[in-house]
Amino acid sequence: MFNPKEWTKQLKYIQGVVRTIYINEHTGLPKLSSTFTKEQQKELEREDRKLSLS
Phi/psi region, residue 16 (left: phi>0; alpha: psi -120 to 50; beta: rest), is left
Model-level pTM?
Answer: 0.81
User: How confident is the model over 7-43, as pLDDT tens digits?
Assistant: 999 999 989 999 999 999 999 999 999 999 999 999 9
Q: Which pLDDT score is estimated for 37? A: 96
Q: Which pLDDT score is estimated for 35? A: 94
* pLDDT band of 1, cuts 50, 70, 90: confident
Distance, CA of 28 to CA of 31 (rounded, Å): 10
